[in-house]
Amino acid sequence: MNKFKILIFAGIFGVSIWYLIVSNHQSVQVAEARYGGIRDSGTGNVRVHATSSYELRSQSQAFVSQVASLPMTKPIKVDANQTLLQLATDDLDRQLEGLLLEEKQFAQRLEVGSVLALQLKVEEKDLNALEKQFDLGHGALFELERKRNQVERLRAQVELENLDSEHFMQNMAFRKQSLAAELHKRKILSPIDGVFSSSLAYPGKMVFPGNPVGSVHSHDKIFEVSLSEEDCERLAEGMPAAISLFSSRGTILPARVDALASSVNPESGMRKIYLSSKEGNNVPVGSSGRAEIIIKESNETLIVPAHALLGDYVLVERNGKIEHRKVTIGSRNLKTVEILNGLNPKDRVVVETPHLFKSGDRITPSLVRFKD
């Protein structure tokens, strides 16, 4: 009877120990290595810039009379040479009226004619008569010389009068050109076809020379990507790329590499890559996100989730027990890694916090499937 009780007690104790051991096994997600497609790519952060950007500044001092878009309103599309901001021109309009009046009055005086010119014609006729009489032996020489001097003075006065008229016309043309230039400054035009993205002025506001009044961006955008120096070594112009912006999650913009910066930031070790996208012209300037530059694509190759890697090792689960396995890595991206050696299809690797385990640890595997 005592032996029977001891056996029962030992059985219960063994079951309890087994239950404690099993219950202490952590449930961990694992995934099976399988064949699939993978893109070998470099990824980095994206910042969107316009290919052309202009900060508009006032060149004159005046009150604003009209604007194409008020502050704090949505951006608008504009054409090159479209008026974006008009400053008041009342003072300049009055100056122009005054100039035109001066020009009209001067033209009227010219139409009436010159008194000096008329007097010169009369004196020249008298001089011709005196010279003929003198040639015939009549008249005194001093009378002839006096008349000649008088005619010369009148000719000089008429020449000066003509110069004054010419100078007046030149000065008038210069004043009109200066006034036209000042009127032009009172009108701020769009330098390009693009988007009037921000307005800083409103009707009635006084602006001064040099004050910013808004900005215009081109429709075309360029996507600046920051990549590690190591990733950039494998890149070249013309490579395909894909852009995902935080402002439009789920939308992937196809792109291509246009240029690689000629220098690397020595502090961060990052290099700038510039992408273009025909479908990205409507993206707001300043948007951010992630970009993937596709170096090559492989199909039907052995892959595992990228977060299963620990350097060049993975944790393989077999019968609830973990073992470290060294692997040879091929292509990789943010989601998956190509395994060239070290794993077989159907091998199950730990994909949940693999850095927390060591060889020999026991786990309760929970199988999950991953996407390419």
* H-helix segments, the chain: 2-23, 90-112, 115-135, 141-185, 229-232
Report residue 20's pLDDT band, with 50, 70 and 90 as the boundaries. very low
User: What pLDDT score does 7 carry?
Assistant: 57
Over residues 236-257, the pLDDT tens digits come to: 899 999 898 988 776 889 999 9
Q: Are 142 and 114 in contact (CB under 8 A)?
A: no
**Tokens in use for 302?**
């052995």
Report residue 330's pLDDT band, with 50, 70 and 90 as the boundaries. confident
Parallel, antiparallel or unpaired: strands 288-305 and 240-245: antiparallel
Per-residue pLDDT, averaged over 342-349, amounts to 93
Count the residues in the chain: 372
User: What pLDDT score does 230 carry?
Assistant: 78
**Tokens in use for 76?**
């608008």
- What contacts 155, CB < 8 A, 6 or more positions away? 120
* Whether pLDDT at 179 is above 80: yes
Q: Is 48 exposed, middle or buried (0-12, 13-18, 19+ CB in 10 A)?
A: buried
Phi, psi dihedrals of residue 335, rounded to the nearest 5°:
-100, -45
User: What pLDDT score does 19 carry?
Assistant: 44
Report residue 345's pLDDT band, with 50, 70 and 90 as the boundaries. very high
User: What pLDDT score does 182 carry?
Assistant: 96
User: What pLDDT score does 43 carry?
Assistant: 83
* Whether pLDDT at 200 is above 80: yes
Q: Are 336 and 31 in contact (CB under 8 A)?
A: no
User: Mean pLDDT of all residues in the chain?
Assistant: 89
Q: Are 346 and 30 in contact (CB under 8 A)?
A: no
Q: Are 51 and 275 in contact (CB under 8 A)?
A: no
Over residues 295-325, the pLDDT tens digits come to: 888 888 999 998 899 989 999 999 999 999 9
Q: Are 207 and 62 in contact (CB under 8 A)?
A: yes
Phi, psi dihedrals of residue 42, rounded to the nearest 5°:
-110, 140
- 185 residue type, one letter: K
User: What pLDDT score does 15 carry?
Assistant: 46
Q: Are 168 and 54 in contact (CB under 8 A)?
A: no
* Whether pLDDT at 6 is above 70: no
Beta bridge partners of 77: 195
User: What pLDDT score does 139 carry?
Assistant: 76
Over residues 61-105, the pLDDT tens digits come to: 999 999 999 999 989 999 999 999 999 999 999 999 999 999 999
